[in-house]
A and B are shown apart, each in its own frame.
Chain A
Amino acid sequence: MKKPVLSASVLALFLLAGAATAASPGTVLRNEKLYSQPSASAAAAASVNKGAAVTVLTKQGGWLKVTAGRTTGWIRLLSVRVGGGGLASVGVGDVLGAATTRSDPSKVVAVAGLRGLSDEDLKGAKFNAEELARLDSVAVTPALAKTFAAQGGLASAQVKRLPKPQADEPASSWGDN
Protein backbone atom coordinates (compact mmCIF):
# COMPACT_ATOMS: atom_id res chain seq x y z
CA MET A 1 0.00 0.00 0.00
CA LYS A 2 1.38 3.35 -1.01
CA LYS A 3 0.78 6.65 0.66
CA PRO A 4 0.04 9.51 -1.69
CA VAL A 5 3.20 11.57 -1.93
CA LEU A 6 3.19 15.16 -3.01
CA SER A 7 6.51 16.04 -4.53
CA ALA A 8 8.48 18.58 -2.56
CA SER A 9 8.57 21.10 -5.35
CA VAL A 10 4.84 20.98 -5.98
CA LEU A 11 4.24 21.35 -2.28
CA ALA A 12 6.63 24.28 -2.04
CA LEU A 13 4.99 26.03 -4.96
CA PHE A 14 1.58 25.43 -3.45
CA LEU A 15 2.63 26.86 -0.10
CA LEU A 16 4.37 29.77 -1.74
CA ALA A 17 1.42 30.83 -3.84
CA GLY A 18 -0.86 30.43 -0.86
CA ALA A 19 1.34 32.39 1.50
CA ALA A 20 1.94 35.27 -0.88
CA THR A 21 -1.55 35.90 -2.08
CA ALA A 22 -4.14 34.14 0.13
CA ALA A 23 -7.17 36.40 -0.23
CA SER A 24 -5.14 39.61 -0.16
CA PRO A 25 -6.64 42.92 -1.15
CA GLY A 26 -5.37 44.46 -4.37
CA THR A 27 -5.81 47.52 -6.58
CA VAL A 28 -6.09 47.52 -10.37
CA LEU A 29 -3.33 49.66 -11.93
CA ARG A 30 -4.81 50.10 -15.43
CA ASN A 31 -8.05 49.47 -17.27
CA GLU A 32 -7.97 45.72 -17.83
CA LYS A 33 -9.89 42.59 -18.66
CA LEU A 34 -10.64 39.64 -16.45
CA TYR A 35 -10.23 36.37 -18.35
CA SER A 36 -11.87 33.03 -17.64
CA GLN A 37 -8.44 31.35 -17.80
CA PRO A 38 -4.88 32.60 -17.14
CA SER A 39 -4.41 33.37 -20.83
CA ALA A 40 -5.12 36.37 -23.06
CA SER A 41 -6.66 34.00 -25.61
CA ALA A 42 -9.31 32.87 -23.10
CA ALA A 43 -12.74 34.46 -23.05
CA ALA A 44 -12.94 37.82 -21.28
CA ALA A 45 -15.23 37.54 -18.27
CA ALA A 46 -15.42 41.23 -17.39
CA SER A 47 -13.63 44.56 -17.53
CA VAL A 48 -12.16 46.34 -14.54
CA ASN A 49 -11.15 49.97 -14.31
CA LYS A 50 -7.98 51.50 -12.96
CA GLY A 51 -8.29 52.00 -9.22
CA ALA A 52 -10.85 49.20 -8.73
CA ALA A 53 -10.46 47.12 -5.57
CA VAL A 54 -10.07 43.38 -6.06
CA THR A 55 -9.48 40.37 -3.83
CA VAL A 56 -6.49 38.32 -4.93
CA LEU A 57 -7.19 34.59 -4.59
CA THR A 58 -4.19 32.87 -6.12
CA LYS A 59 -1.25 33.29 -8.47
CA GLN A 60 -0.10 31.39 -11.52
CA GLY A 61 2.89 32.54 -13.54
CA GLY A 62 2.16 36.03 -14.82
CA TRP A 63 -1.48 35.88 -13.76
CA LEU A 64 -3.54 36.52 -10.64
CA LYS A 65 -6.96 35.03 -9.97
CA VAL A 66 -9.06 37.82 -8.50
CA THR A 67 -12.60 38.64 -7.49
CA ALA A 68 -13.89 42.05 -8.54
CA GLY A 69 -17.42 42.72 -7.35
CA ARG A 70 -19.30 39.56 -8.16
CA THR A 71 -16.98 38.42 -10.96
CA THR A 72 -14.01 36.12 -10.55
CA GLY A 73 -11.38 35.86 -13.26
CA TRP A 74 -7.71 36.06 -14.20
CA ILE A 75 -5.83 39.34 -14.60
CA ARG A 76 -2.22 40.08 -15.54
CA LEU A 77 0.15 40.16 -12.54
CA LEU A 78 1.54 43.55 -13.55
CA SER A 79 -1.93 45.11 -13.77
CA VAL A 80 -2.57 44.75 -10.04
CA ARG A 81 -0.83 46.05 -6.98
CA VAL A 82 -1.23 43.40 -4.29
CA GLY A 83 -1.64 44.67 -0.73
CA GLY A 84 -3.58 47.46 0.91
CA GLY A 85 -1.74 50.44 -0.55
CA GLY A 86 -4.31 51.35 -3.19
CA LEU A 87 -3.32 53.71 -5.95
CA ALA A 88 -1.85 56.13 -3.39
CA SER A 89 1.60 56.46 -4.82
CA VAL A 90 0.86 55.83 -8.46
CA GLY A 91 1.66 58.91 -10.48
CA VAL A 92 2.01 61.05 -7.37
CA GLY A 93 5.53 60.19 -6.39
CA ASP A 94 6.13 61.94 -3.12
CA VAL A 95 3.15 61.12 -0.90
CA LEU A 96 5.24 59.20 1.58
CA GLY A 97 7.82 61.93 1.91
CA ALA A 98 9.91 59.46 0.01
CA ALA A 99 10.25 58.28 -3.56
CA THR A 100 12.44 61.17 -4.57
CA THR A 101 13.10 60.20 -8.11
CA ARG A 102 15.47 62.85 -9.33
CA SER A 103 19.15 62.96 -8.55
CA ASP A 104 19.02 65.89 -6.20
CA PRO A 105 21.51 65.63 -3.33
CA SER A 106 19.83 68.45 -1.45
CA LYS A 107 16.76 66.28 -0.99
CA VAL A 108 18.67 63.59 0.83
CA VAL A 109 18.10 63.85 4.57
CA ALA A 110 19.40 61.80 7.44
CA VAL A 111 17.79 58.50 8.32
CA ALA A 112 18.17 57.32 11.88
CA GLY A 113 17.64 54.03 13.64
CA LEU A 114 18.68 51.56 11.02
CA ARG A 115 21.76 49.40 11.10
CA GLY A 116 23.89 50.21 8.07
CA LEU A 117 23.22 51.87 4.78
CA SER A 118 21.38 55.06 5.50
CA ASP A 119 22.60 57.82 3.23
CA GLU A 120 24.64 59.23 6.10
CA ASP A 121 26.35 55.85 6.47
CA LEU A 122 27.16 55.88 2.77
CA LYS A 123 28.56 59.41 2.81
CA GLY A 124 30.76 58.68 5.81
CA ALA A 125 31.94 55.28 4.60
CA LYS A 126 35.67 54.52 4.56
CA PHE A 127 37.18 52.27 1.92
CA ASN A 128 37.37 48.68 3.22
CA ALA A 129 40.08 46.77 1.34
CA GLU A 130 39.68 43.57 3.38
CA GLU A 131 36.02 43.17 2.54
CA LEU A 132 36.74 43.98 -1.10
CA ALA A 133 39.31 41.16 -1.18
CA ARG A 134 36.72 38.84 0.35
CA LEU A 135 34.28 39.88 -2.37
CA ASP A 136 36.89 39.00 -5.02
CA SER A 137 37.42 35.61 -3.41
CA VAL A 138 33.79 34.52 -3.83
CA ALA A 139 33.48 35.46 -7.51
CA VAL A 140 32.85 32.51 -9.84
CA THR A 141 33.96 31.76 -13.40
CA PRO A 142 31.54 31.54 -16.34
CA ALA A 143 32.33 27.82 -16.56
CA LEU A 144 31.24 27.26 -12.97
CA ALA A 145 28.06 29.28 -13.52
CA LYS A 146 27.21 27.14 -16.56
CA THR A 147 27.59 23.95 -14.55
CA PHE A 148 25.44 25.44 -11.79
CA ALA A 149 22.74 26.37 -14.34
CA ALA A 150 22.76 22.91 -15.88
CA GLN A 151 22.37 21.32 -12.45
CA GLY A 152 19.20 23.38 -11.94
CA GLY A 153 17.87 22.53 -15.38
CA LEU A 154 18.18 26.14 -16.53
CA ALA A 155 18.43 26.63 -20.29
CA SER A 156 19.15 29.89 -22.09
CA ALA A 157 16.13 31.31 -23.91
CA GLN A 158 15.68 33.84 -26.70
CA VAL A 159 13.81 36.80 -25.21
CA LYS A 160 13.59 40.16 -26.97
CA ARG A 161 14.31 43.45 -25.24
CA LEU A 162 11.22 45.21 -23.95
CA PRO A 163 10.56 48.53 -25.68
CA LYS A 164 10.24 51.70 -23.63
CA PRO A 165 6.50 52.40 -23.27
CA GLN A 166 5.28 55.36 -25.28
CA ALA A 167 3.20 56.99 -22.54
CA ASP A 168 5.18 58.29 -19.59
CA GLU A 169 2.16 59.10 -17.46
CA PRO A 170 -0.14 56.13 -16.86
CA ALA A 171 -3.09 58.54 -16.48
CA SER A 172 -2.40 60.36 -19.75
CA SER A 173 -4.96 60.02 -22.48
CA TRP A 174 -2.11 59.84 -24.99
CA GLY A 175 -1.38 56.30 -23.92
CA ASP A 176 -4.88 54.99 -24.45
CA ASN A 177 -5.01 55.36 -28.20
Chain B
Amino acid sequence: MKATAPLLALLLAAATLPAQAFDLGKLLEERLNQELEKRDKSKQPQPAPAQPAPAGAQSAAASPPPAKQKVDAAQLGFALFGDYSLEEESRIGRQIAGNLLGAAKLVPDRALQSYVNQVGEWVALHSGRPEITWRFGVLESDAINAFAAPGGYIFVTKGLYRLLNNEAELAGVLGHEIAHVTEKHHLKVLKQSSLIGALGQVASSKAKDSDPAIQNLIGNGAEIMARGLDKDAEFEADRVGMVYAARAGYDPWGLPNVLQDMAALPAKDSRTSLLYKTHPHPADRLSALGDAVGGRMDTVRGKELPNRFYRLP
Protein backbone atom coordinates (compact mmCIF):
# COMPACT_ATOMS: atom_id res chain seq x y z
CA MET B 1 0.00 0.00 0.00
CA LYS B 2 1.24 3.48 -0.84
CA ALA B 3 0.98 5.77 2.12
CA THR B 4 1.32 8.93 0.11
CA ALA B 5 -2.30 9.72 -0.57
CA PRO B 6 -3.63 9.10 2.95
CA LEU B 7 -0.76 11.10 4.37
CA LEU B 8 -1.65 14.04 2.16
CA ALA B 9 -5.18 13.94 3.42
CA LEU B 10 -4.03 13.72 7.00
CA LEU B 11 -1.62 16.62 6.64
CA LEU B 12 -4.44 18.72 5.29
CA ALA B 13 -6.65 17.62 8.16
CA ALA B 14 -3.92 18.47 10.64
CA ALA B 15 -4.31 22.14 9.86
CA THR B 16 -7.74 22.14 11.45
CA LEU B 17 -6.58 20.63 14.73
CA PRO B 18 -5.54 22.70 17.73
CA ALA B 19 -1.80 23.10 17.85
CA GLN B 20 -0.20 21.20 20.67
CA ALA B 21 3.37 21.27 21.81
CA PHE B 22 4.65 17.76 22.14
CA ASP B 23 7.80 15.89 21.39
CA LEU B 24 7.33 12.56 19.70
CA GLY B 25 10.98 11.88 19.21
CA LYS B 26 13.36 11.55 16.34
CA LEU B 27 11.75 8.44 14.94
CA LEU B 28 8.62 10.28 14.01
CA GLU B 29 10.54 13.16 12.52
CA GLU B 30 12.48 10.76 10.33
CA ARG B 31 9.27 9.09 9.41
CA LEU B 32 7.59 12.27 8.31
CA ASN B 33 10.57 13.38 6.30
CA GLN B 34 10.54 10.04 4.51
CA GLU B 35 6.92 10.52 3.66
CA LEU B 36 7.52 14.03 2.38
CA GLU B 37 10.38 12.83 0.20
CA LYS B 38 8.35 9.94 -1.15
CA ARG B 39 5.56 12.26 -2.07
CA ASP B 40 7.83 14.75 -3.74
CA LYS B 41 9.40 11.99 -5.77
CA SER B 42 6.07 10.64 -6.86
CA LYS B 43 4.88 14.11 -7.85
CA GLN B 44 7.71 15.34 -10.00
CA PRO B 45 7.94 12.80 -12.82
CA GLN B 46 4.21 12.60 -13.31
CA PRO B 47 2.87 14.29 -16.43
CA ALA B 48 -0.31 16.28 -16.14
CA PRO B 49 -3.29 13.95 -16.10
CA ALA B 50 -5.05 13.68 -19.42
CA GLN B 51 -8.41 13.39 -17.75
CA PRO B 52 -9.79 15.70 -15.09
CA ALA B 53 -8.60 14.50 -11.70
CA PRO B 54 -11.17 13.71 -9.01
CA ALA B 55 -12.05 16.54 -6.69
CA GLY B 56 -10.04 15.17 -3.79
CA ALA B 57 -6.87 14.84 -5.80
CA GLN B 58 -7.24 18.35 -7.14
CA SER B 59 -7.51 19.95 -3.74
CA ALA B 60 -4.50 18.01 -2.54
CA ALA B 61 -2.45 19.02 -5.54
CA ALA B 62 -3.50 22.62 -5.13
CA SER B 63 -1.62 22.99 -1.86
CA PRO B 64 1.71 21.20 -2.14
CA PRO B 65 3.89 21.81 0.89
CA PRO B 66 7.38 23.14 0.20
CA ALA B 67 9.90 20.36 -0.26
CA LYS B 68 12.12 21.40 2.63
CA GLN B 69 9.53 22.71 4.99
CA LYS B 70 10.31 22.64 8.67
CA VAL B 71 8.58 19.74 10.33
CA ASP B 72 5.73 20.95 12.45
CA ALA B 73 5.19 19.12 15.71
CA ALA B 74 1.50 18.74 15.03
CA GLN B 75 2.27 16.84 11.85
CA LEU B 76 4.56 14.34 13.48
CA GLY B 77 1.82 12.33 15.04
CA PHE B 78 0.07 11.98 11.77
CA ALA B 79 3.10 10.38 10.22
CA LEU B 80 2.17 7.42 12.38
CA PHE B 81 -0.90 6.82 10.34
CA GLY B 82 1.03 6.04 7.21
CA ASP B 83 2.23 2.54 6.51
CA TYR B 84 5.15 1.19 8.50
CA SER B 85 8.18 0.15 6.49
CA LEU B 86 9.48 -3.39 6.92
CA GLU B 87 12.42 -1.99 8.87
CA GLU B 88 10.18 -0.09 11.25
CA GLU B 89 7.93 -3.10 11.62
CA SER B 90 10.93 -5.25 12.52
CA ARG B 91 12.26 -2.72 15.03
CA ILE B 92 8.88 -2.51 16.72
CA GLY B 93 8.53 -6.29 16.81
CA ARG B 94 12.04 -6.77 18.14
CA GLN B 95 11.38 -4.39 20.99
CA ILE B 96 8.13 -6.16 21.90
CA ALA B 97 9.80 -9.58 21.64
CA GLY B 98 12.71 -8.50 23.85
CA ASN B 99 10.30 -7.22 26.48
CA LEU B 100 8.17 -10.35 26.30
CA LEU B 101 11.30 -12.44 26.84
CA GLY B 102 11.87 -10.34 29.95
CA ALA B 103 8.60 -11.69 31.33
CA ALA B 104 9.28 -15.32 30.34
CA LYS B 105 12.48 -16.90 29.04
CA LEU B 106 12.76 -19.50 26.33
CA VAL B 107 12.49 -23.15 27.38
CA PRO B 108 16.15 -24.24 27.55
CA ASP B 109 15.70 -27.10 25.09
CA ARG B 110 17.41 -26.45 21.78
CA ALA B 111 15.87 -29.48 20.07
CA LEU B 112 12.39 -28.21 20.95
CA GLN B 113 13.09 -24.66 19.78
CA SER B 114 14.65 -25.90 16.56
CA TYR B 115 11.69 -28.20 15.86
CA VAL B 116 9.17 -25.39 16.38
CA ASN B 117 11.20 -23.10 14.10
CA GLN B 118 11.17 -25.67 11.32
CA VAL B 119 7.42 -26.19 11.52
CA GLY B 120 6.82 -22.44 11.85
CA GLU B 121 9.10 -21.44 8.99
CA TRP B 122 7.45 -24.00 6.70
CA VAL B 123 3.97 -22.69 7.52
CA ALA B 124 5.17 -19.08 7.18
CA LEU B 125 6.50 -19.84 3.69
CA HIS B 126 2.82 -20.20 2.72
CA SER B 127 1.77 -16.86 4.19
CA GLY B 128 2.72 -14.57 1.33
CA ARG B 129 5.28 -12.50 3.27
CA PRO B 130 8.60 -14.04 2.18
CA GLU B 131 10.50 -10.84 2.99
CA ILE B 132 10.11 -11.44 6.73
CA THR B 133 12.70 -13.27 8.83
CA TRP B 134 10.48 -15.41 11.04
CA ARG B 135 11.50 -16.40 14.56
CA PHE B 136 9.64 -18.85 16.78
CA GLY B 137 10.09 -19.57 20.46
CA VAL B 138 8.53 -21.68 23.21
CA LEU B 139 8.28 -19.68 26.43
CA GLU B 140 8.95 -21.10 29.88
CA SER B 141 5.48 -20.55 31.34
CA ASP B 142 2.59 -22.72 32.47
CA ALA B 143 0.12 -20.21 31.10
CA ILE B 144 -1.78 -21.34 28.00
CA ASN B 145 -1.20 -18.67 25.42
CA ALA B 146 0.58 -17.66 22.24
CA PHE B 147 1.85 -14.29 21.03
CA ALA B 148 2.82 -12.59 17.82
CA ALA B 149 4.76 -9.37 17.38
CA PRO B 150 5.22 -7.38 14.16
CA GLY B 151 8.13 -8.31 11.96
CA GLY B 152 7.68 -12.08 12.41
CA TYR B 153 8.23 -12.81 16.12
CA ILE B 154 6.03 -15.73 17.26
CA PHE B 155 5.81 -17.29 20.72
CA VAL B 156 3.94 -20.26 22.20
CA THR B 157 3.95 -20.99 25.92
CA LYS B 158 5.00 -24.36 27.25
CA GLY B 159 1.53 -24.64 28.79
CA LEU B 160 -0.09 -24.42 25.36
CA TYR B 161 2.52 -26.67 23.78
CA ARG B 162 1.63 -29.39 26.31
CA LEU B 163 -1.99 -29.33 25.07
CA LEU B 164 -0.92 -30.25 21.54
CA ASN B 165 -1.16 -33.79 20.17
CA ASN B 166 0.52 -33.64 16.78
CA GLU B 167 2.43 -31.45 14.33
CA ALA B 168 -0.74 -30.33 12.53
CA GLU B 169 -2.05 -28.81 15.76
CA LEU B 170 1.23 -26.96 16.27
CA ALA B 171 1.04 -25.76 12.65
CA GLY B 172 -2.50 -24.51 13.27
CA VAL B 173 -1.50 -22.53 16.37
CA LEU B 174 1.55 -21.06 14.62
CA GLY B 175 -0.61 -20.31 11.57
CA HIS B 176 -2.95 -18.24 13.76
CA GLU B 177 -0.03 -16.21 15.12
CA ILE B 178 1.58 -15.85 11.67
CA ALA B 179 -1.75 -14.46 10.48
CA HIS B 180 -1.59 -11.70 13.13
CA VAL B 181 1.70 -10.64 11.54
CA THR B 182 0.63 -10.89 7.90
CA GLU B 183 -2.64 -9.05 8.61
CA LYS B 184 -0.65 -6.47 10.65
CA HIS B 185 -3.13 -6.60 13.51
CA HIS B 186 -0.77 -5.23 16.16
CA LEU B 187 0.49 -2.47 13.88
CA LYS B 188 -3.10 -1.34 13.40
CA VAL B 189 -3.57 -1.17 17.17
CA LEU B 190 -0.30 0.76 17.51
CA LYS B 191 -1.42 3.27 14.92
CA GLN B 192 -4.54 3.91 16.94
CA SER B 193 -2.90 4.07 20.34
CA SER B 194 0.74 5.03 20.01
CA LEU B 195 0.13 8.73 19.60
CA ILE B 196 -1.47 8.81 23.03
CA GLY B 197 1.11 6.50 24.53
CA ALA B 198 4.03 8.43 23.10
CA LEU B 199 2.98 11.74 24.61
CA GLY B 200 4.18 11.02 28.11
CA GLN B 201 7.12 8.85 27.23
CA VAL B 202 9.78 11.13 25.85
CA ALA B 203 12.39 9.95 28.31
CA SER B 204 13.05 6.24 28.06
CA SER B 205 14.71 3.94 30.50
CA LYS B 206 17.65 2.63 28.55
CA ALA B 207 18.00 -1.13 28.69
CA LYS B 208 20.92 -2.90 27.04
CA ASP B 209 20.38 -3.22 23.28
CA SER B 210 16.92 -1.86 23.71
CA ASP B 211 15.71 0.56 21.07
CA PRO B 212 14.86 3.86 22.76
CA ALA B 213 13.06 5.32 19.77
CA ILE B 214 10.76 2.34 19.60
CA GLN B 215 10.41 2.22 23.35
CA ASN B 216 9.16 5.80 23.15
CA LEU B 217 6.68 4.85 20.52
CA ILE B 218 5.18 1.75 22.08
CA GLY B 219 5.83 2.15 25.79
CA ASN B 220 6.75 -1.10 27.46
CA GLY B 221 6.37 -3.24 24.36
CA ALA B 222 5.04 -6.30 26.13
CA GLU B 223 2.09 -4.31 27.40
CA ILE B 224 0.40 -4.53 24.02
CA MET B 225 0.31 -8.30 24.58
CA ALA B 226 -1.60 -7.83 27.83
CA ARG B 227 -4.13 -5.64 26.07
CA GLY B 228 -5.01 -7.96 23.25
CA LEU B 229 -6.67 -7.31 19.94
CA ASP B 230 -10.18 -6.74 18.76
CA LYS B 231 -12.16 -10.00 18.68
CA ASP B 232 -12.62 -9.66 14.92
CA ALA B 233 -8.84 -9.75 14.55
CA GLU B 234 -8.79 -13.03 16.48
CA PHE B 235 -11.54 -14.54 14.34
CA GLU B 236 -9.69 -13.42 11.22
CA ALA B 237 -6.44 -14.96 12.47
CA ASP B 238 -8.30 -18.26 13.00
CA ARG B 239 -9.59 -18.21 9.41
CA VAL B 240 -6.29 -17.18 7.87
CA GLY B 241 -4.12 -19.38 10.09
CA MET B 242 -6.15 -22.50 9.34
CA VAL B 243 -5.61 -21.86 5.64
CA TYR B 244 -1.84 -21.32 6.04
CA ALA B 245 -1.49 -24.69 7.82
CA ALA B 246 -3.56 -26.40 5.13
CA ARG B 247 -1.48 -24.81 2.36
CA ALA B 248 1.62 -26.18 4.06
CA GLY B 249 0.20 -29.69 3.65
CA TYR B 250 -1.08 -30.17 7.19
CA ASP B 251 -4.44 -31.54 8.21
CA PRO B 252 -6.60 -28.39 8.31
CA TRP B 253 -8.35 -29.48 11.52
CA GLY B 254 -5.29 -28.90 13.73
CA LEU B 255 -6.36 -25.45 14.94
CA PRO B 256 -10.04 -26.45 15.48
CA ASN B 257 -8.90 -29.42 17.54
CA VAL B 258 -6.75 -27.19 19.75
CA LEU B 259 -9.73 -24.84 20.20
CA GLN B 260 -11.86 -27.86 21.17
CA ASP B 261 -9.30 -28.90 23.79
CA MET B 262 -9.12 -25.37 25.18
CA ALA B 263 -12.91 -25.08 25.30
CA ALA B 264 -13.01 -28.29 27.35
CA LEU B 265 -10.69 -26.92 30.06
CA PRO B 266 -12.32 -25.92 33.36
CA ALA B 267 -13.61 -22.34 33.24
CA LYS B 268 -11.62 -21.30 36.30
CA ASP B 269 -8.31 -22.78 35.15
CA SER B 270 -5.77 -20.10 36.08
CA ARG B 271 -3.59 -21.07 33.12
CA THR B 272 -6.12 -19.48 30.77
CA SER B 273 -6.73 -16.20 32.68
CA LEU B 274 -4.80 -13.94 30.34
CA LEU B 275 -5.81 -15.90 27.24
CA TYR B 276 -9.49 -15.32 27.95
CA LYS B 277 -8.92 -11.64 28.69
CA THR B 278 -7.30 -11.12 25.33
CA HIS B 279 -9.18 -13.62 23.16
CA PRO B 280 -12.83 -14.53 22.61
CA HIS B 281 -13.78 -17.78 24.37
CA PRO B 282 -12.75 -20.85 22.33
CA ALA B 283 -16.39 -21.89 21.99
CA ASP B 284 -17.13 -18.57 20.27
CA ARG B 285 -14.06 -19.03 18.07
CA LEU B 286 -15.20 -22.52 17.06
CA SER B 287 -18.60 -21.14 16.21
CA ALA B 288 -17.23 -18.22 14.17
CA LEU B 289 -14.71 -20.41 12.37
CA GLY B 290 -17.46 -22.91 11.56
CA ASP B 291 -19.52 -20.12 9.98
CA ALA B 292 -16.59 -19.35 7.67
CA VAL B 293 -15.51 -22.91 6.88
CA GLY B 294 -18.79 -24.72 6.23
CA GLY B 295 -17.95 -27.28 3.56
CA ARG B 296 -14.98 -25.37 2.12
CA MET B 297 -12.37 -27.71 3.61
CA ASP B 298 -14.22 -30.93 2.74
CA THR B 299 -11.83 -31.90 -0.04
CA VAL B 300 -8.63 -30.71 1.66
CA ARG B 301 -6.44 -33.55 2.88
CA GLY B 302 -3.32 -33.13 4.94
CA LYS B 303 -0.99 -34.77 7.41
CA GLU B 304 -1.19 -34.78 11.21
CA LEU B 305 2.33 -36.22 11.79
CA PRO B 306 1.78 -37.40 15.39
CA ASN B 307 4.99 -39.45 15.35
CA ARG B 308 7.32 -36.63 14.43
CA PHE B 309 5.74 -34.27 16.98
CA TYR B 310 8.36 -33.30 19.56
CA ARG B 311 7.08 -34.31 22.97
CA LEU B 312 8.24 -32.50 26.06
CA PRO B 313 9.87 -34.69 28.69
Contact among A99, A126, A131 with B280 in the assembled complex (CB-CB below 8 Å): A99
List CB contacts (< 8 Å) of B254-313 with chain A. 256-257, 260-261, 263-264, 267-268, 270-274, 276-281, 283-284, 286-293, 295-298, 300, 302-308
Q: Is the CB of B121 within 8 A of A160?
A: no
Contacts of A102 in B (CB 8 A): 230-231
Least Cβ–Cβ distance between B96 and chain A, in angstroms:
10
Of listed A113, A127, A161, A170, residue having the most chain B CB within 10 A: A127
Of B37-45, B63-71, B80-88, B111-119, the one touching chain A:
B111-119
Of listed B98, B209, B243, B256, residue having the most chain A CB within 10 A: B98
Q: Is the CB of A162 within 8 A of B293?
A: yes
Contacts of A105 in B (CB 8 A): 227
Separation of A141 and B135 alpha carbons in the complex (Å): 10
Contacts of B153 in A (CB 8 A): 135
Q: Does B177 contact A (CB under 8 A)?
A: no
Of B27-35, B50-58, B139-147, the one touching chain A:
B139-147
Of listed A91, A93, A164, residue having the most chain B CB within 10 A: A164
Q: Is the CB of A129 within 8 A of B226?
A: no
Q: Does A46 contact B (CB under 8 A)?
A: no
Q: Does B246 contact A (CB under 8 A)?
A: yes
Q: Does B79 contact A (CB under 8 A)?
A: no
Contact among A89, A117, A149 with B157 in the assembled complex (CB-CB below 8 Å): A117
Q: Is the CB of A157 within 8 A of B103?
A: no
Q: Is the CB of A103 within 8 A of B117?
A: no
Contact among B222, B229, B279, B302 with A122 in the assembled complex (CB-CB below 8 Å): B222
A-B contact count (CB 8 A): 298
Contacts of A22 in B (CB 8 A): none
Contacts of A119 in B (CB 8 A): 226, 274, 277
Q: Mark B195-234, 1 if CB is under 8 A from A, else 0.
A: 0000000000001111000000000111101111111001
Least Cβ–Cβ distance between A36 and chain B, in angstroms:
16
Q: Is the CB of B249 within 8 A of A78?
A: no
**A119-B274, A123-B220, A140-B118 are known contacts. Are A157 and B302 too (CB-CB below 8 A)?**
yes
**A114-B143, A161-B243 are known contacts. Are A127 and B167 too (CB-CB below 8 A)?**
no
Separation of A155 and B251 alpha carbons in the complex (Å): 11
Least Cβ–Cβ distance between A85 and chain B, in angstroms:
6
**A99-B281, A126-B99 are known contacts. Are A145 and B286 too (CB-CB below 8 A)?**
no
Describe A's contact surface by its main secondary structure. Answer: loop
**A127-B207, A129-B207 are known contacts. Are A16 and B103 too (CB-CB below 8 A)?**
no
**A16-B165, A20-B165, A145-B125 are known contacts. Are A132 and B94 too (CB-CB below 8 A)?**
yes
Contact among A100, A126, A161 with B102 in the assembled complex (CB-CB below 8 Å): A126
* Nearest B residue to A147, CB-CB: B118
For the side of the interface on A, what is the size category?
35 or more
Q: Is the CB of A114 within 8 A of B267?
A: no
Q: Does A6 contact B (CB under 8 A)?
A: no
Contacts of A39 in B (CB 8 A): 298
Contacts of B223 in A (CB 8 A): 122-123
**A122-B226, A135-B106 are known contacts. Are A12 and B307 too (CB-CB below 8 A)?**
yes
Q: Is the CB of A20 within 8 A of B257?
A: yes
Separation of A157 and B281 alpha carbons in the complex (Å): 30
Least Cβ–Cβ distance between A84 and chain B, in angstroms:
8
Least Cβ–Cβ distance between A102 and chain B, in angstroms:
7
**A123-B220, A131-B105, A154-B122 are known contacts. Are A90 and B287 too (CB-CB below 8 A)?**
yes
Separation of A170 and B286 alpha carbons in the complex (Å): 11
Contacts of B126 in A (CB 8 A): 156
Contacts of B270 in A (CB 8 A): 111, 113-114
Q: Is the CB of B252 within 8 A of A122?
A: no
Q: Does A61 contact B (CB under 8 A)?
A: yes
Rank and list the top 3 A-B pairs by shortest CB-CB distance, nearest first. Answer: A83-B264, A78-B290, A119-B226
16 contacting pairs across A/B (C-beta < 8 A): A9-B306, A9-B307, A77-B257, A90-B284, A101-B234, A102-B230, A116-B141, A119-B274, A123-B226, A125-B220, A129-B98, A135-B97, A138-B110, A142-B125, A154-B303, A159-B297
Give 10 A-B pairs besides A16-B306, A96-B281, A159-B252 with Cβ atoms closer than 8 angstroms.
A62-B298, A77-B260, A96-B267, A132-B94, A138-B137, A140-B114, A148-B122, A162-B296, A164-B236, A170-B288
